[in-house]
Amino acid sequence: MLTHAFETLVLNRVAFQTHQKNQHSRTAISAIGATFEGIHRDCRIQEDGSIRSSAVYSIIKQEWSQVNCKLLAKLTQPTIEKI
């Protein structure tokens, strides 16, 4: 999807948002090379009426080449199966 966004649609920026407390998603977003931009405080109302804050990350056009190289390297790494 990122390749499509930057190379086909020629977007300047792709942004990601996740619940501020969702550490698994935050780690995964950082691992693909997105930059943490900050917290949007009290930005969403949940179905139960509670209010949440979101962690915001992005990849911009100038970063795409480097991010893409790192992603491709991760995808081509040999994996070791645990038995």
Residues 6+ apart with CB under 8 A from 11: 5, 61
pLDDT for 78? 78
pLDDT for 20? 97
53: in domain: yes
Asked if pLDDT for residue 79 goes beyond 80, the answer is: no
What count of Cα atoms within 13 Å lies in the side-chain half-sphere of residue 58? 11
Q: What is the pTM of this model?
A: 0.85
For residue 22, give the CATH number of its domain. Answer: 3.40.630.30
**CA gap 17, 3 in Å, rounded:** 19
pLDDT for 42? 98
Range of the domain at 64: 2-75
- Write the pLDDT tens digit of every residue in 36-77: 999 999 999 999 999 999 999 999 999 999 999 999 998 888
81: in domain: no
